[in-house]
């Protein structure tokens, strides 16, 4: 059975974009065009109408989940007869392929969630900083598998999320530079007890092999209170990836010091061939081997069409 096809046996309820937009209720969109321009990624032409139709209802739903978790926290503290402790942060995981729009979605949700009446403190961290440095990947022969599960320091990710869930102050996450295509030595961002943490990356819903002896094996997603998968057809993902590559060839790649600077010096036809090859040899393989299989584990699935617009929303049944 295809769980992504509407049926009585599917664990999801499916909504068209128009149906989903009704869940906005009477909430006002306060995000401006100038703010959206700052939040959108290159190649993602999302507009304010899309934000109001899709992302404002999502922020409303997530805000309700946060309030429910906080209520449950208080109830559990009363049940256990323990003195009041600081509530643990609500963690949202966002997964999906390269070029599908994870970063834009994460930044928009961060902005919208922080504007709810309770004014929660919302932080955003991506898994890019937890990639092994290029020197390590090269020594291990993993540069061509960068972005695959084995290219990440999973232990560091688990320690980071564990500290966040424990309410630890000033938890540090490493910084990644897309300009140098590497982890920045000695640089970190500090996450200090947020109400909500958005954790975004390709493989955040990935599972590992289960031990036969029944010992506990933590998954990154074990720390999530809600998870979102952004979905699209592979033909569209490839087209968006190649289009973004060609735009970067005319902009960021032209800067001296850019890891991809060499691609700005080849012909347009050669650059397009290179981009197609990178997609086929690395990103498409990662999609089918590791990313797409995690889609059924998400609580919310946003299905995009060819115009980079969400056309269907699948919400896991409770």
Q: Which residues are annotated as a binding site for ATP?
A: 96-103
Q: Which two tokens stand for residue 77?
A: 């503290």
- Beta-strand runs (E) in the chain: 12-16, 90-96, 122-126, 171-177, 182-191, 196-200, 226-231, 300-304, 310-316
**Known binding-site positions:** 96-103
For the chain, the C-alpha Rg in angstroms (whole number) is 20
- Paired with 93 in beta bridges are 199, 227
- Paired with 310 in beta bridges are 304
Calculate the alpha carbon distances from 77 to 65, 81, 85, 163, 223 in Å.
18, 6, 8, 20, 20
Q: Which two tokens stand for residue 291?
A: 């990313």
DSSP 8-64: TT-SEEEEEHHHHHGGGTTPPP---HHHHHHHSPTT----HHHIIIIIHHHHHHHHH
């Amino acid at each position: 059975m295809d769980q992504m096809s509407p049926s009585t046996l599917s664990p999801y309820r499916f909504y068209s974009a128009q149906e989903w937009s009704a869940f906005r209720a009477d909430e006002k969109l306060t995000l401006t065009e100038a703010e959206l321009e700052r939040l959108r990624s290159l190649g993602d032409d999302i507009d304010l109408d899309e934000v109001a139709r899709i992302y404002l209802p999502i922020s409303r739903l997530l805000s309700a989940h946060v309030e429910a978790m906080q209520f449950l926290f208080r109830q559990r503290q009363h049940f256990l007869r323990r003195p009041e402790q600081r509530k643990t942060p609500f963690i949202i995981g966002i997964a999906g392929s390269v070029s599908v729009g994870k970063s834009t979605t994460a930044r928009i949700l961060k902005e919208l969630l922080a504007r709810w009446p309770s004014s929660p403190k919302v932080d955003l961290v991506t898994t890019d900083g937890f990639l092994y440095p290029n020197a390590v990947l090269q020594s291990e022969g993993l540069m061509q598998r960068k972005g695959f599960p084995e290219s990440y320091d999973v232990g560091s990710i688990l320690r980071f999320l564990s500290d966040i869930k424990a309410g630890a102050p000033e938890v540090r996450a490493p910084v990644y530079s897309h300009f140098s295509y590497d982890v920045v030595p000695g640089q970190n961002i500090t996450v200090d007890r947020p109400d909500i943490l958005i954790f975004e990356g390709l493989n955040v819903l990935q599972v590992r092999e289960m031990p036969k002896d029944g010992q506990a094996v933590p998954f990154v997603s074990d720390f999530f209170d809600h998870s979102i998968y952004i979905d699209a057809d592979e033909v569209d993902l490839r087209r968006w990836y190649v289009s973004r590559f060609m735009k970067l060839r005319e902009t960021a790649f032209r800067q001296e010091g850019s890891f991809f600077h060499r691609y700005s010096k080849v012909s347009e036809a050669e650059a397009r061939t290179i981009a197609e090859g990178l997609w086929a040899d690395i990103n498409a393989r990662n999609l089918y081997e590791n990313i797409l299989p995690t889609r059924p584990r998400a609580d919310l699935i946003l299905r995009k069409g060819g115009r980079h617009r969400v056309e269907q929303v699948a919400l896991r049944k409770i």
